[in-house]
Amino acid sequence: MMPEQRQEIIRLLEKGEELSPEWARILFPPEKREYELVYHGKEREEDILADTLAVPLQPVRTFGSNGEWSNMLIFGDNLQVMKSLLEMKKAGKLCNADGTPGVRLIYIDPPFATKQEFRGTEDQKAYQDKIAGSEFIEFLRRRMILIRQLLSDDGALFVHLDQKKGHYIKVLLDEIFGEGNFRNEIIVRRIQKNYIEREYIASLNLATDSIYVYSTGSQAVFAPVYKKMVIEETWHSLDAPNWSGTRPNLVYPLFGKMPPKNRCWAWVKDRAEAAIKAGDLRPNPKTGKPEYRIPARDKVVCTSLWDDLLAYSFASEYPTEKSESLMLRIIEMGSKPGDIVLDSFAGSGTTLAVAEKLGRRWIGVDCGKLAIYTMQKRLLNIAESKDLENTKKKYDKQCKPFTLYNAGLYDFSKLKELSWDSWRFFALQLFQCRDEPHSVGGIKLDGYLKGASVLVFNHMKEKGVRIDEETIESLHEALGTRIGNRLFIIAPALTFDFQQDYITLGNVRYYALRIPYSIINELHQREFTCLKQPSDEMAVNDTVEAVGFDFIRTPELKFECGVRKGKRESQDTAYIKIKTFKSEAVVREPMRKKENLETLSMVMLDYDFDDNSQVFDLDAVFYADALEKTGWALNFPIDSIGKKIMAVYIDIYGNEARVVIEPEQFGITLANNNKGKR
């Protein structure tokens, strides 16, 4: 860097001005690699780490008694969540049971970008992978960069991919982790059916997936894992090559015989004598030559070919759910009890369930509400699932404590219940501010954002106090030009009495950062986008990156319910008909007004909701696309109805409207109701 360039940077920083993107390559020259994957839209690693927004994790509910560690189930964009977890690691709050900071094992099964169609248990279209090409590659690369930072010094990553994009991702992983940290490519069986023979075929039938294994460094070691295989006892000759007579310590008489010419024994004398005493070395009954015993066994150490198990759980209602036997082997290979296991594409929760059964700490992240509720149910009901060692028995243990978090979509009503210190901390986190209290002109300030001071307004100190233009003028009189050219003020949205995003006085701009309020685009590199929930099964695996944050707004909901008569009483059907469903996101992006029912994503039902536990136990899902064809009516057997029904209506932004429906609303009396008796 030239001296004049250094001086210019110092001048810009002292004035509190932002550095233009042109400075990036001067400050952070690109690393020279022997080779790398080049494609449209590839960002610099430094920019990804710097620009990714770390959104606070808002606890929603903890299941079980919370102790030293509570496992984590997180709803949100995994890129932003992993940036937040990285902040936890830096603060010493993300540690394995042995105190090692970081995650010991990360397994990811990302969307394969194959545009292939999967089919569910009733041959319905379950979903298609949607992301393809360079967009998919960069989507994964951004996450791999955060994953590398999250792993412990002896941590390992297992990436599960198919044949369409695996070779691209292998090159990316070599770039990010270093080719020397590539440990293995594991080949695992994908299918279990036999294909019909044909005279001519377009290509070979797909039978395997690949799992790429990388470590963060040479400290990572893996436990041996085994596959079941019955092998009979065998005896093998002990002699071995002795090239140019370089192994004299292996040449000695054994059972009265010397090794053949240019040969030697495979063991030193002490070992051979010990094996004779143990009965593991003998003279061959016919030739008299020494031979050693390999005992009979029912398992062998695995190689990189895992052809003894299936990658997928074909018995599951989720078409791409990984088998517990696959996850058992991966978790046993790459971690120890008490280690943290992370799955940032957690899906139906197989990784979490197996980690739980193996006594590991776990973190699961997913951007789909359906996935979150599916995993919550699976974990809370884990005692009824199969034991890993003996699948004919139940696991029969309750799940250890875990906490459900929101990341990027927050419940403002719960934020209002926080103490002042907790509110201040959350507010600073939300807008990515440094927590550094300081004073300017006698005014106490709370931190910094992009080099400018931040004031978290204490709205709790005096109830009803407002921030109007006179307040800004008073601040300006006290601060003057000593504050630089910007001051950020964070406060609840209703505290501000002016609508504009900022007020300019002299050369100082006073920004209003409102809560709840979607992140101001001016402060970040990316436009704000929200997580979109699917409205049909085909869209379940669509992946949208969420940048920024938003606040929960309960949708407007009206419905009616009853019973439709069939030809016979046994054919009567219960229904819930949606009359009104309207919602809006707080996103600051161009958006036309949504019509009635247009924002509905899905409706989930718990047919036998328990008032005491207040736990939603997912039983059925109705997508908006299918509901439109039935006149927006959810139809289900009367026999399904238990004590009460909990219906969770979810919009495309992830907002929920929850309703408890009594059996009487269907015309069913509670006294006679035993799963739908009228």
- Residue 376 tokens, joined: 């919550």
- Residue 399 tokens, joined: 């799940």
Domain ranges within the chain, ordered by starting residue: 1-30, 36-194+202-218+328-407, 233-295, 419-523, 554-666
- Residue 446 tokens, joined: 């709370």
What pLDDT band is residue 300 in, cutting at 50, 70 and 90?
confident
How high is the pLDDT of residue 252? Answer: 93
Q: Is the pLDDT of residue 32 over 70?
A: no
Average pLDDT, the chain: 86
Which ranges constitute the DSSP H helices of 410-559? 412-415, 420-430, 469-479
Three-point CA angle 44, 49, 51, nearest 5°: 90
**pLDDT by residue (tens digit) across 517-565?**
655 555 555 666 777 788 877 666 665 667 777 788 889 999 999 999 8
**pLDDT by residue (tens digit) across 204-231?**
777 889 999 999 988 889 999 998 888 8
Residue 127's Cβ-side half-sphere holds a number of Cα atoms within 13 Å equal to 22
Instruction: Round to whole Å and give the CA distance between 49 and 286.
Output: 70
Q: Is the pLDDT of residue 98 over 50?
A: yes
Q: Is the pLDDT of residue 671 over 60?
A: no
Q: Is the pLDDT of residue 678 over 60?
A: no
How high is the pLDDT of residue 31? Answer: 59
**Mean pLDDT: which of 120-124, 242-246, 588-592, 635-639 is highest?**
635-639
How high is the pLDDT of residue 262? Answer: 86
Cβ-proximal residues to 488 (8 Å cutoff; 6+ apart), any chain: 431, 433, 449, 452, 453, 454, 455, 511, 513
Q: Is the pLDDT of residue 506 over 70?
A: yes
Peptide bond into 555 cis (omega under 30): no
**pLDDT by residue (tens digit) across 266-279?**
999 999 999 999 99
How high is the pLDDT of residue 29? Answer: 62
Q: Is the pLDDT of residue 406 over 70?
A: yes
How high is the pLDDT of residue 677? Answer: 42
- Residue 473 tokens, joined: 């003028």
- Is CATH 3.40.50.150 the classification given to domain 36-194+202-218+328-407? yes
**pLDDT by residue (tens digit) across 360-400?**
999 999 998 999 999 999 999 999 999 998 888 999 999 99
**pLDDT by residue (tens digit) across 108-119?**
998 764 434 434
How high is the pLDDT of residue 653? Answer: 86
Q: Is the pLDDT of residue 515 over 70?
A: yes
Q: Is the pLDDT of residue 41 over 50?
A: yes
Q: Is the pLDDT of residue 61 over 60?
A: yes
Cβ-proximal residues to 490 (8 Å cutoff; 6+ apart), any chain: 427, 428, 430, 431, 433, 454, 455, 456, 457, 513, 515
Asked if 514 and 375 count as a contact pair (C-beta separation under 8 A), the reply is no
Asked if 363 and 84 count as a contact pair (C-beta separation under 8 A), the reply is no
**pLDDT by residue (tens digit) across 650-665?**
998 889 999 999 999 9
Higher pLDDT, 545 or 95: 95
Instruction: Round to whole Å and give the CA distance between 16 and 376.
Output: 46
What pLDDT band is residue 12 in, cutting at 50, 70 and 90?
confident
Q: Is the pLDDT of residue 248 over 80?
A: yes
How high is the pLDDT of residue 173? Answer: 94
Q: Is the pLDDT of residue 129 over 50?
A: no
The pLDDT > 70 percentage for the chain reads: 86
Higher pLDDT, 673 or 343: 343
Tokens 């997580």: give the residue.
531
β-partners of residue 513 are 490
Q: Is the pLDDT of residue 16 over 80?
A: no
Instruction: Round to whole Å and give the CA distance between 650 and 101.
Output: 37
Chain Cα centroid distance, residue 278: 51
Amino acid at 343: D
Task: Please state whether the predicted TM-score (pTM) of the whole model is above 0.75.
Answer: yes
Amino acid at 71: N
How high is the pLDDT of residue 524? Answer: 57
Cβ-proximal residues to 252 (8 Å cutoff; 6+ apart), any chain: 258, 265, 269
Residue 160: what are its φ and ψ, rounded to 5°? -100, 120
> What's the CATH fold of domain 554-666?
Immunoglobulin-like (2.60.40)
Q: Is the pLDDT of residue 617 over 90?
A: yes
Asked if 66 and 401 count as a contact pair (C-beta separation under 8 A), the reply is yes
Q: Is the pLDDT of residue 589 over 70?
A: no
How high is the pLDDT of residue 128? Answer: 40
Higher pLDDT, 164 or 182: 182
